[in-house]
Structure 1
């Protein structure tokens, strides 16, 4: 069912895509496989690799794939433990679980034979992207972090600032041992309904592409998360009260090479603390660190304001292609608002490749025929 729903969403793309399982061997389980889709592989430009957030999968990049693929190769993966990828048993220790996820990404890169690439991660994917760049700096040409989770340290007075009623705190304490998306699975066949009723905002984000069939997004999210919560358990091991990481990125930014340019894209209405972006900018004063807060966007910044998001991503990619070593001197001032003409011009650049149904659903999907987003808080 997940395979069918994913195909239906991706059939709305204008660009031909290919989907297949990449065998990465015994990284966590005995034979792990990562579900991968690619677009415009024949382009000679530096590819961009997309890492999704908690409870998500490759199909939720549907508002970005066409525009990004208009200028370079694009690869999107279901992170190990999520979506259609293998769901092995991860370590319950935070550092070990993180290392397992990072190793799976590196083994995927080796199998794909990608020398270097632009790495874009959203939320949890941003956390993993930053960690990967620390360990494999020679592979990352530009690090793009979209509303990344797990960067700042948890404030000592976080609970007091939240000012929550006692009964809310009691429930939060009671469900602490459970995985974040447990409610979707407990709801059983009503999981999709639960997502639609509690988080209608997520579903509506995709209406520009999916028109009247936006309910398929909640179906996709449900199918992604109704299965064995393997990657979700890894996230649970790494988190410190959902909103923070046990090993926050800001505490180890010194491990990230100063030569790696960073672009941070935050939503102005997001629950994620964007102060970490300015901290990173100050800490890496001689490095290229471009922090942009997109007006009107929430945590799902890639979908809320997809045109502006795509514009910033393509600018970052083009800059890294044209300048071998970016520094703080290459930062330029951006207009606070992007004009409608700029957005329309960018959107029209997406390649419109006529495709047959066989291209979308046959030859481009080399998988066997197999028979985030948490509805209460925002997903990572």
Structure 2
């Protein structure tokens, strides 16, 4: 759903959108052209970066754009197509991510079943529309795009896995369309707890971080990366150096591969990023916290939480969900040695848990 209200003046998001779209179709001229050249990104840059991320994946990946009734397109990867006797697994990435970040998991998780992964609307190679600034409407737009994608690829029921922001969105989807979800897997999900300035999570946030958040609150989360122009990739490399250790196979050939992919996923039009910002409040809490709503989950939908033991996400949200859903089967796992990106920090244990959930889902039929 696109915004239909008129703003009194152009926002920074609107300016970034215009610049990005003009750069893509080659019509940017004058100072606009200079500004776009200042940001060294393009659709081709992103395609090349994603290709490098997926080079070492051994299973065959079918790649396609899935068209939605809205006219938007969702970039989709499929492994082990055509399996009919197993429930397909659908994976949804988190904020600032894309299908390339699942690189360590495609082969193992698609051995018995079809596996789908897609770039969320507004992220990666998917369409980047203008979202409504109302957080509930933005959330509904994400959820509706997932449902339209499901219809377009002709999946009846699925095992739905989401990481971080993706975990929040698939939870929203499962509550609205429970008949389509055979099992819900939440990897270090964002957006569950209610804002609590006195919580242990809030106390762990340094004062200097709080100060920066206040200063940057009027802007999109990754505006500084785009504003840095040709130095943007180096900012990603400097502040997210941990990703090099997560993808040793990918970085063995070129240590910049992961950083380039993350940069080009986020250096363009901040469409989904702007929507995510509107859905946030109070240092990263959700405007509509999931714990205030998840009791409405259909009791037939089993839920599995997979947290990294070293993550800044609070595992207590998983345990609270167990209490809020007494009639559902709810499991909570803590993966030793893993942080927020549990699927890449300990891919072996992550895949073991996900595979067990998937096998149990089909056994229960």
Match of 1:303? 344
Match of 1:47? 88
**Contact 2:96–2:265 (CA under 8 A) maintained in structure 1:** yes
**Counterpart-to-counterpart distance in 2, 1:168 and 1:279:** 28
Q: After TM superposition, give the deviation of residue 140 of structure 1 in Å.
A: 0.4
RMSD, aligned CA: 1.4
TM-score (norm 2): 0.85
The alignment partner of 1:178 has SS state of: coil
User: C-alpha deviations, 1:322-362, integer Å up to 9, x for none?
Assistant: 013xxxxxxxxxxxxxxxxxxxxxxxxxxxxxxxxxxxxxx
**Contact 1:51–1:120 (CA under 8 A) maintained in structure 2:** yes
**Counterpart-to-counterpart distance in 2, 1:164 and 1:179:** 21
**Counterpart-to-counterpart distance in 1, 2:119 and 2:202:** 37
Q: After TM superposition, give the deviation of residue 285 of structure 1 in Å.
A: 2.4
The alignment partner of 1:25 has SS state of: coil
Match of 1:161? 203
Match of 1:359? none
Q: Please show how residues 336-351 of structure 1 align to structure 2 within 5 Å.
A: none
**Counterpart-to-counterpart distance in 1, 2:271 and 2:182:** 30
Match of 1:7? 51
Q: Indicate which of 34, 53, 75 corresponds to 2:74.
A: 34
Q: Which runs of 5+ in 2 are unaligned?
A: 1-44
**Counterpart-to-counterpart distance in 1, 2:202 and 2:175:** 34
**Counterpart-to-counterpart distance in 1, 2:204 and 2:358:** 38
Q: After TM superposition, give the deviation of residue 244 of structure 1 in Å.
A: 0.9
Q: Please show how residues 137-148 of structure 1 align to structure 2 within 5 Å.
A: 137-148=178-189
Match of 1:23? 67
Q: After TM superposition, give the deviation of residue 243 of structure 1 in Å.
A: 2.4
Q: Indicate which of 170, 182, 197 corresponds to 1:129.
A: 170
**Counterpart-to-counterpart distance in 1, 2:170 and 2:135:** 16
The alignment partner of 2:162 has SS state of: strand
**Contact 2:213–2:283 (CA under 8 A) maintained in structure 1:** no
Higher relative contact order (CA 8 A, sep 6+): 1
TM-score (norm 1): 0.81
Q: Please show how residues 80-229 of structure 1 align to structure 2 within 5 Å.
A: 80-157=121-198, 161-162=203-204, 164-165=206-207, 168-229=209-270
Q: After TM superposition, give the deviation of residue 205 of structure 1 in Å.
A: 0.4
**Contact 1:94–1:237 (CA under 8 A) maintained in structure 2:** yes
**Contact 1:116–1:141 (CA under 8 A) maintained in structure 2:** yes
Match of 1:288? 329
Q: After TM superposition, give the deviation of residue 168 of structure 1 in Å.
A: 4.5
Q: After TM superposition, give the deviation of residue 194 of structure 1 in Å.
A: 0.6
User: C-alpha deviations, 1:67-122, integer Å up to 9, x for none?
Assistant: 00111100000000000000000011110000000000000011111100000000
**Counterpart-to-counterpart distance in 2, 1:193 and 1:259:** 47
Runs of 4+ in 1 over 3 A off after TM superposition: 162-165, 167-170
**Contact 1:297–1:305 (CA under 8 A) maintained in structure 2:** yes
1:313 aligns with 2:354: yes
**Counterpart-to-counterpart distance in 2, 1:11 and 1:163:** 38
**Contact 1:81–1:231 (CA under 8 A) maintained in structure 2:** yes
The alignment partner of 1:148 has SS state of: coil
**Contact 2:94–2:162 (CA under 8 A) maintained in structure 1:** yes
Cα 1:89–1:222 shift into 2, 3 Å: same
Match of 1:333? none
User: C-alpha deviations, 1:6-51, integer Å up to 9, x for none?
Assistant: 112212111011111101021xxxx200000100012221101110
Q: After TM superposition, give the deviation of residue 156 of structure 1 in Å.
A: 3.9
**Contact 1:40–1:70 (CA under 8 A) maintained in structure 2:** yes
Cα 1:20–1:282 shift into 2, 3 Å: same
Q: After TM superposition, give the deviation of residue 5 of structure 1 in Å.
A: 1.3
**Contact 2:56–2:249 (CA under 8 A) maintained in structure 1:** no
Q: After TM superposition, give the deviation of residue 283 of structure 1 in Å.
A: 1.9
Paired residues, number:
319
